[in-house]
Structures are given as C-alpha cells and as structure tokens.
Amino acid sequence: MEYVKLEEICTIVSGGTPSRSKSDYWNNGNIPWIKIKDMKSKYIDSAEEFITEEGLNNSSTKMLKSDTILYSIFATLGEVGILKIDACTNQAIAGLSLKEDSNILKEYLYYYLKSKKKDVNNLGRGVAQNNINLSLLRKFRIPVIPLHQQKKIIEVLDNVSSTINNYERELALLDELVKARFVEMFGEIEDCDKWESKIWNEVVTIKNGRDYKKVLVSDGGYPVVGTGGEIARASKYLCPENTIVVGRKGSINNPMLMKEKFWNVDTAFGVIPNSDYLHYQYFYCFCKFYNFMKLNKATTLPSTTKADLLKIRINIPPLELQNQFASFVQEIDKSRSRIQKSLEASQELFDSLMQEYFG
C-alpha cells in the first residue's frame, strides 16, 4: 500500500490565543474561536468563545475555512473534527487543509486520524505537558487507497456513527425525562418553600475518602471509586450500597450512585442519605441537578469541602412521594440499560471496523 506524509497532502497550521488582557481582542467579537472543549462531534459548527478582528490580526491564531480538519496536539491529544464554519483555534489545535491534488477525501482522513488516537497518545506520553509538535504531525503517514474505497469506508463508518449518535441522544432524552419528572413532582431544587427542608448535616452522613493504596488490594473485594469511576479493588469498604459519591477535588459536579459497598478515594466524599428522610434515588437526583461548582473556592483545580456540603439545604418531600419517583426512575433505568447495551454493541462494531480499515 502506498503511504504519503500528512504534509504532502495538507497545509498544516497551528492556532493561537489573543492576549486576554486586551479587551479589544475579545469584547463583542464575532469570529468563532475553537478550543478542544468545542470538539464534541465529527462536525464543529459552534464555539463557546469569540474574538474580534483586532484579536485575529494581533495574535498567532489563524482564520480557517469551513471543511478544515481540526486536530488536537496539546494536553488532550488526537481529538479530530471537521469545521462547518469559518473559525480560529487556540494553540492546542492544528488546522489541516487538504491540497487540491491530494486524492484524499476529508472524511477518510478524519476517520484515519481518529483511528490513531491511542498511538498518538503513546507518542505524546512522556513529553512535557503531553503534546506533539507540528514537525511530528507533518510526518504522519497516511495510507492512500482508491477514491471508491475511501467512499465505501466513509459510508460504512458514517452509518455506524449515526447509530451510535442516535443511542446517545436517546440516553440524553431519558436524563431529561427524569429531570422533568423530578421538577414536576418536587419543584426546583433551590425552591425550599413547598416542602419541609433540612440542611445536609441533619439528613446525611459524609465519609471522607482515603488513599486506596493503604488497603490490601486484591482481585475480589470491593470497588475503589472516585468520581472518575472504578480504579481498583480493595479488601475493605468505607461506604454501604446506595451511597452517592461527590467529588472533593477535580470532577466535583459529577455525582455517582453506587449500588454496592465500596472504598472511596481521598478525592471524593461518600454521602450516605438517612433513609428516615430521604430515598437514595431522590437524593441522587438532587445531587445530579445541584450545581456543586458554586461551592468551589479554588482558582485552579475545582474543590469542595465537607463543611460546605453539610450546609446545603434540601427539600424533604413525603417518603411516599419519593418512593413513587424512585419507581419511575427504576422503569427509566430498564430502558436505559437496553439502550446502553445497544450503544456498547454499536461502539464495538465501530472499533472493529476502524481496526479492519486502518490497522
């Protein structure tokens, strides 16, 4: 198979950031300025921030045309997207514009680059701040195959991707349905006039997490959990089943419901609702919809404190009503489980096809 270097088929440029101290570079800007955070799907058509013409002309960022492929080269490596708008990027993202005589379709290049994310992360590992430079990117080798084969690969992968996206939308709709029912039954979580309310200190117990390395780690036992998910297994547990994990540092706005006993790490709290007042499912949804970021006082890594958590006020609706809500969520979870299995199967198919096509 013939291979070409990326620089042979693409014009490659990196982005930049206009000075934040210059308000004229940002205020009332209308030029989309893309960050990795904006690269949420195959096609990128919106930005969280905008810069002005003055900001563009007085920085290293560059205007990229629609259909430019974006590729992340700093911190979070190997994210890929295709611009559907004219936009600029920050320095963590390179813009790849296909040359007219490349004989490579942009969607084919998109999928090829996406398939190499693990390899790129291995390449960047060990480098300061986990990055690759443009010199490395330019030397990437791209397989050249006939256009009709490229089109077939694009068609197949687009179809599977569409299926995955549909399942993800269905899961998101179920989340919205649960939130809508919660508000319908109990009102907004900040509104404490409809029901008796108490502060957390009166109705929950909070377990501080501990370093799991101090616990005998084994193949069985209990999961070791932070807000990023399970990371190991331990021979002891700190929290009972139906405890809600709330982040202490880092991911503080991503609570988790644990249905089994577990050991929580020192960057997460285990919050145990008192069943005399709170059904765990009602309390978990309260936590999901609560904005813990407003408790953050840190300037770098977001963090919460036990003292601040214990001051949170929560409505205490009748347990009968909470049980009704829990039954509703249980039925939703059955649908969620079916969709999740289908999503995982589709993702496995997508991954196997990427391996088959690109190795």
Q: Among 167-176, 228-237, 255-264, 317-326, which stretch is predicted with the lowest mean pLDDT? A: 228-237
The pLDDT tens digits of the residues spanning 44-101 come to: 999 999 999 999 999 999 999 999 999 999 888 999 999 999 999 999 999 999 999 8
Confirm whether 2-145 and 196-316 share one CATH topology: yes
Question: What is the pTM assigned to this prediction?
Answer: 0.82
203: Cβ contacts below 8 Å, ≥ 6 apart: 273, 274, 277, 278, 314, 316
Q: 23, 97, 101, 27: which is closest to 62 by C-alpha?
A: 97
Residue-range domain boundaries for the chain: 2-145, 196-316
- By C-alpha distance, which of 194, 195, 211, 105 is closest to 148? 105
Q: Compute the 3-state secondary structure of the chain and give helix, strand, coil in percent, each to the nearest 5.
A: 40, 25, 35
Rounded distance between C-alpha atoms, residue 238 and residue 215, angstroms: 11
E strand spans, 153-304: 197-199, 204-208, 217-226, 229-234, 243-247, 256-258, 263-264, 268-273
Distance, CA of 50 to CA of 33 (rounded, Å)? 5
pLDDT digits 0-9 by tens, 238-247: 999 999 999 9
Write a three-state SS string for 94-112: EEEEECCCCCCCHHHHHHH
CA angle in degrees (0–180, nearest 5) for 337-286-223: 55
Residue 189 and residue 197: Cα distance in Å, rounded? 11
Express each pLDDT in 20-35 by its tens digit: 999 999 999 999 999 9
Query: Tell me: the pLDDT tens digits for 180-217?
Result: 999 999 998 887 778 899 999 999 999 999 887 777 77
The predicted pLDDT at position 263 comes to 92
Tokens of 41: 């799907």
Neighbours of 21 (CB within 10 A): 7
* Residue 226 confidence (pLDDT): 85
- Rounded to an integer, what distance in angstroms lies between the CA atom of residue 140 and that of residue 50? 31
Quickly count: other Cβ atoms within 10 Å of residue 20's Cβ. Answer: 8
Query: What pLDDT does 12 receive?
Result: 96
What does the alpha-carbon distance between residue 223 and residue 264 come to, in Å, rounded to a whole number? 8
Distance of alpha carbon 88 from alpha carbon 90, whole angstroms: 7
Q: What is the pLDDT of residues 294-331, one digit of tens each?
A: 999 887 889 999 999 999 999 999 999 999 999 999 99
Q: Which two tokens stand for residue 61?
A: 């960022």
Given the candidates 1.10.8.10, 3.30.210.10, 3.40.50.1240, 3.90.220.20, the CATH classification of the domain at 2-145 is 3.90.220.20
Q: Which CATH class is domain 196-316?
A: alpha beta
Q: pLDDT value at position 221? A: 85
